[in-house]
């Protein structure tokens, strides 16, 4: 209480001015720190979005290389599984909530593509669904990262 009394009573105007300047400098420093935290967070989100875009491009490339003909190709199935594992490990490291959304198959449609044969049909549907989920995560990256 004595400090407050000495602060406002019996001080020279110069002391009060210096106190005001010190308080302003402190406020600007705190504001600068908060702004830097926001900028850092946004840059982390942009970096993660870039990685997700790369996964989406890789998935679209795999989807474009659908096996033609009547035989299933294990190479294509393996590339689908590898993509899903890579994305899952990336999301597990940065956002468990995004991982849950990515692996969610509750509303997975049974997409029929006449160019896809046999067991590859289910892998094709799973790839499309995972790419859709990944796009949703990228669009709502602020909520996940």
Which run of H or E residues covers position 94? helix 74-94
So what's the pLDDT on residue 77?
Answer: 87
Q: Where does the pLDDT of residue 62 fall: very low under 50, low under 70, confident under 90, or very high at 90 and above?
A: very high
CA distance 135 to 96: 16
* pLDDT greater than 70 at residue 111: no
Half-sphere exposure of 27 (CA within 13 A, CB side): 6
- Averaged over 103-119, what is the pLDDT? 70
So what's the pLDDT on residue 131?
Answer: 94
For tokens 């909520």, what's the residue?
143
Instruction: Quick: pLDDT tens for 32-61.
Output: 999 999 999 999 999 999 999 999 999 999
CA distance 98 to 91: 6
Q: Higher pLDDT residue, 123 or 84? A: 84
Task: State pTM to two decimals.
Answer: 0.73
The mean pLDDT of the chain is 86
* pLDDT greater than 90 at residue 106: no
- Averaged over 121-134, what is the pLDDT? 88
So what's the pLDDT on residue 8?
Answer: 67
């Amino acid at each position: 209480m004595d400090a407050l009394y000495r602060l406002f009573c019996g001080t020279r105007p110069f002391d009060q001015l210096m106190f005001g300047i010190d308080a302003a400098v402190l406020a600007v420093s705190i504001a600068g720190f908060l702004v830097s935290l926001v900028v850092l967070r946004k840059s982390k989100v942009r970096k993660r979005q870039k990685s997700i875009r790369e996964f989406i491009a890789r998935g679209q490339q795999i989807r474009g290389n659908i096996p033609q003909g009547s035989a299933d190709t294990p190479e294509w199935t393996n590339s689908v599984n590898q993509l899903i594992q890579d994305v899952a490990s990336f999301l597990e490291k940065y956002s468990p909530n995004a991982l849950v959304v990515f692996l969610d198959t509750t509303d997975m449609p049974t997409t029929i593509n006449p160019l896809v044969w046999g067991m590859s049909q289910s892998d094709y549907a799973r790839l499309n669904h995972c790419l859709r989920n990944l796009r949703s995560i990228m669009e709502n990256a602020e909520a996940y990262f």
